[in-house]
């Protein structure tokens, strides 16, 4: 790669700038332009974000040289297309740790990681499981949670939507548990069912997503989805456990099938008892809070409001980092420009 351009990350890319970066190739699609010329459509990511890129020259030759889920070195011009930044890629090469660490490459640069300490989060999971006395629930959690510790510590909670980081799955469970334990007390619910339901509600995601480095949907994930996959995992685990109470089994399975709340959100059932309803709302709350935080953090310019191009479809308030400046006045013009 050209050496005189310093390495940068997606978050800092500015329109019209020529940039050089190590990125993860998330997707590549060889397509044809209207005049029948091949081009490559790629999705690239690093710790700081995700960006679309186009390769207009030698697309057919380049396509087999780069591998989905693997890191690449990219030199590109940042352009703007329909209000979004996009890369016009001039050069893209496969890279590896062995040959490129001396040239500034590291996995740390490209894999998004939860800011939280995963060991501390895991201890919270263990403490929550300690609150459970029911031996059947404990046996189930041993099989599906404790035995999957290594995977859970690194897994994301989604592809892009929320907690899409290494350790995001764990963070999502802990945030829900923290609220759920208090809520169960307040609403006088079955706390053990709430704890187990939270821990298991997204368990299907362990197989729905391939995890890092590439973090893609698996074939099973695309065909079945985490609701059905999680249901199957719990069903299989319960049928291997002796004398698991029928009603408890049905309630846990119902929590998995109803946690997304509505048919449109791929839940085949709507919550039919309070613990299931609570878990649905906690899931929704935690996902939305993370999505809003991410949408605000990923906006690059200095204005006080984000663009409307986010899940919530409204400009989100983004206070200035530098509180000493009277920035309200200064940024009024930025807001006006965007709307
Ligand atoms: Fe889910
Ligand atoms: Fe969830």
pLDDT above 80: residue 116: yes
CA 226 to centroid of ligand 1, rounded, Å: 7
Ligand 1 centroid–CA 320 distance in Å is: 33
CB contact at 8 A, 287 and 179: no
For residues 264 and 284, the answer to whether their CB atoms sit within 8 Å is: no
Q: State residue 324's pLDDT score.
A: 46
How far apart are the CA of 175 and the centre of ligand 2, in A? 10
* pLDDT at position 216: 86
pLDDT at 3: 54
For residue 128 the two structure tokens come to 């929550």
User: Cα(268)–Cα(259) distance, rounded to whole angstroms?
Assistant: 10
Please give the distance, rounded to the nearest whole angstrom, from the Cα atom of residue 306 to the centre of ligand 1.
Answer: 27
Question: CB under 8 Å to 102, separation ≥6 — which residues?
Answer: none
Mean pLDDT of 311-334: 63
Q: What is the C-alpha to C-alpha distance for residues 63 and 41, in angstroms, rounded to an integer?
A: 10
**Separation of CA 205 and ligand 1 centre (Å):** 8
- How many angstroms separate the CA atoms of 166 and 78, rounded? 27
C-alpha 200 – ligand 2 centre gap (Å): 9
Q: Ligand 1 being an ion, which residues bring their Cβ within 5 A of it?
A: 202
**Cα-to-centroid distance, 227 and ligand 1 (Å):** 7
Q: What are phi and psi of 237, to 5 degrees?
A: -65, -45
CA angle 240, 152, 183 (to 5 degrees): 85
- Listed residue (51, 41, 59) closest to 21, CA to CA: 51
Q: How far, in Å, CA of 286 to CA of 270, rounded?
A: 19
Residue 240 confidence (pLDDT) above 80? yes
- What is the structure's pLDDT at 34? 92
Residues lining ion ligand 2 (Cβ < 5 A) are 202, 283
As beta bridge partners, residue 79 has 86
Nearest ligand to the C-alpha of residue 171? 2
**More confident: 127 or 84:** 127
**pLDDT for the residue 98:** 87
E strands in the chain: 18-32, 38-46, 49-55, 71-81, 84-94
What CA–CA distance (Å, rounded) separates 294 from 133?
A: 37
B/e letters for 313-322, b = 16+ CB within 10 Å, e = fewer, are eebbebeeee
Q: Let me know: does 269 contact 254? Beta carbons within 8 Å.
A: yes
The pLDDT of residue 49 is: 83
For the chain, what percent of residues have pLDDT higher than 90? 71
What's the rounded Cα separation, in Å, for the pair 111 and 48? 9
Which pLDDT band, with edges at 50, 70 and 90, does 322 fall under? low
According to the model, what pLDDT value does residue 189 have? 98
Rounded CA separation 328/288 (Å): 27
Q: How far is the CA of 205 from the centre of ligand 2 (A)?
A: 9
- Measure 284 CA to ligand 1 centroid, in angstroms: 9
Tokens of 313: 């479809």
Give the pLDDT band (50/70/90) at residue 329.
Answer: very low
Average pLDDT over residues 192-207: 98
pTM for the full predicted model: 0.81
Q: What is the pLDDT of residues 3-29, one digit of tens each?
A: 578 999 998 999 999 999 999 998 999
Q: How far is the CA of 201 from the centre of ligand 2 (A)?
A: 6
User: How far is ligand 1, taken at its centre, from the CA of residue 280, in Å?
Assistant: 9
Find the 239 Cα to ligand 2 centroid distance in Å: 24
Higher pLDDT, 222 or 69: 222
State in Å: Cα 234 to ligand 1 middle. Answer: 14
Domains delineated in the chain: 10-110 (2.40.50.140), 118-292 (1.10.3210), 299-338 (no CATH)
CA–CA dist 287, 167 (Å, integer): 14
Distance CA 186, CA 225 (A): 33
Mean pLDDT of 303-313: 87
CA 256 to ligand 2 center in whole angstroms: 10
Residue 317 has pLDDT above 80, yes or no: yes
Q: Which ligand is nearest to the CA of 228?
A: 1
- Ligand with an atom nearest the CA of residue 226: 1
Ligand nearest to the CA of 281: 2
pLDDT for position 297? 82
């Amino acid at each position: 790669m050209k050496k005189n351009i310093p390495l940068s990350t997606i978050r800092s890319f500015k329109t019209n700038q020529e940039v050089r970066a190590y990125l993860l190739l998330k997707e590549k699609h060889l397509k044809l332009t209207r005049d029948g010329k091949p081009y490559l459509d790629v999705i690239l990511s690093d710790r700081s974000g995700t960006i679309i890129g186009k390769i207009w020259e030698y697309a057919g030759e380049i396509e087999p040289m780069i591998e989905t889920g693997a890191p690449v070195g990219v030199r590109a011009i940042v352009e703007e297309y329909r209000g979004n930044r996009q890369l016009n890629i001039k050069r893209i090469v496969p890279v590896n740790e062995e040959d490129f660490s001396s040239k500034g490459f590291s996995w740390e640069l490209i894999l998004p990681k939860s800011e939280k300490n995963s060991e501390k989060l895991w201890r919270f999971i263990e403490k929550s499981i300690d609150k459970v006395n029911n031996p059947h629930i404990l046996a189930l959690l041993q099989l599906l949670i404790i035995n999957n510790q290594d995977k859970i510590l690194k897994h994301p909670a989604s592809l892009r939507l929320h907690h899409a980081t290494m350790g995001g799955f764990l963070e999502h469970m802990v945030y829900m548990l923290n609220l759920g334990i208090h809520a169960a007390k307040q609403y006088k619910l079955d706390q053990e069912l709430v704890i187990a339901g939270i821990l298991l509600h997204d368990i299907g995601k362990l197989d729905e997503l391939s995890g890092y480095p590439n973090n893609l949907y698996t074939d099973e994930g695309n065909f079945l989805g985490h609701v059905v996959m999680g249901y199957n995992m719990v069903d299989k685990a319960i049928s291997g456990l002796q004398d698991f109470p029928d009603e408890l089994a049905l309630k846990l399975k119902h929590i998995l099938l109803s946690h997304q709340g509505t048919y449109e959100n791929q839940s085949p059932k709507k919550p039919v008892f309070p613990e299931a309803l609570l878990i649905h709302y906690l899931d929704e709350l935690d996902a939305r809070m993370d999505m809003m935080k991410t949408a605000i953090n990923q906006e690059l310019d200095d204005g006080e409001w984000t663009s409307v191009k986010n899940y919530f479809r409204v400009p989100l308030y983004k206070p200035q980092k530098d509180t000493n400046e009277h920035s309200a006045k200064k940024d009024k013009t930025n807001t006006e420009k965007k709307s």
